[in-house]
Amino acid sequence: AQSVSQHNHHVILSEAASLELGCNYSYGGTVNLFWYVQYPGQHLQLLLKYFSGDPLVKGIKGFEAEFIKSKFSFNLRKPSVQWSDTAEYFCAVYPVGSGNTGKLIFGQGTTLQVKP
Amino acid sequence: GAVVSQHPSWVICKSGTSVKIECRSLDFQATTMFWYRQFPKQSLMLMATSNEGSKATYEQGVEKDKFLINHASLTLSTLTVTSAHPEDSSFYICSASQDRGFIGTDTQYFGPGTRLTVL
């Protein structure tokens, strides 16, 4: 079955530290990839997405992610986190292929806590 | 743009009653809407996909008679939890897409969610 795994469940960092959140998926075909963020008390917002082209994708708020097809990974990075980055981060995968009518498969989420 | 609202934001009900949750796309036409359920500290699980004017497609294991979905217009979808029980307590999130069936060039825009507590 298709699945998405986020290895870091809870990450605590100090401000200005660098961030990398792991995301791996299990699907052998073409995928569209997403990272969403959910700030406390708010709805999910799209951080960035990858459909094709340059595997290094830049998103909002200084975030970027790199798609490594051979590793089935789409890790999220930010060189210097801020307290305002405290939130829940979700990786999501859309397996492109016959039969998929829009189903996004989400990872279990990573809680990021940034200490001022 | 691309704002999705949900109403109510939270609801408490007695066991055995039915609860209706609305999902609206405020500034675009949502051909496809999705309903998710999120358990604490867990992932979002897709419950069903609804296309405007047609019956919803439910994921395996989701009871269609318990979770009634109606997508009667391009801006509104409703989820009705019928005869709710405490185990139905959860966070329900909808999302909307302008695409029908394929989101390769579009994304899903999420509502803020509805917290359902069944006593």
Three state DSSP letters for A66-85: EEEHHHCEEEEEECCCCHHH
For the stretch A52-88, pLDDT in tens is 899 999 999 999 999 999 999 999 999 999 999 999 9
Q: Which one-letter DSSP state was computed for residue A60?
A: G
Residues of A in contact with B105 (CB under 8 A): 51
Which of B33, B39, B43, B106 best tests the A interface by mutation, with the highest count of A CBs <10 A?
B43
pLDDT at residue number B106: 64
- Mapping DSSP onto H, E and C, the string for chain B reads CCCEEEECCEEEECCCCCEEEEEEECCCCCCEEEEEEECCCCCEEEEEEEECCCCCEECCCCCCCCEEEEEEECCEEEEEECCCCHHHCEEEEEEEECCCCCCCCCCCEECCCEEEEEC
For the stretch B34-56, pLDDT in tens is 999 998 777 889 999 888 888 89
Which of B99, B108, B113 shows the shortest C-beta gap to A104? B108
Q: Lowest mean pLDDT: which of A31-45, A47-61, B79-93?
A: A31-45
Q: Are strands B90-97 and B114-118 parallel, antiparallel or unpaired?
A: antiparallel
pLDDT at B67 over 90: yes
3-state secondary structure of A62: helix
Higher pLDDT, A5 or B2: A5
Which of A104, A105, A108, A113 best tests the B interface by mutation, with the highest count of B CBs <10 A?
A104
Widest pairwise Cα distance in chain B: 42
Shortest distance between the Cα of B95 and any Cα of chain A, in A, equals 9
Asked if residue B8 has a cis previous peptide bond (ω within 30° of 0), the answer is yes
pLDDT at A99 over 90: no
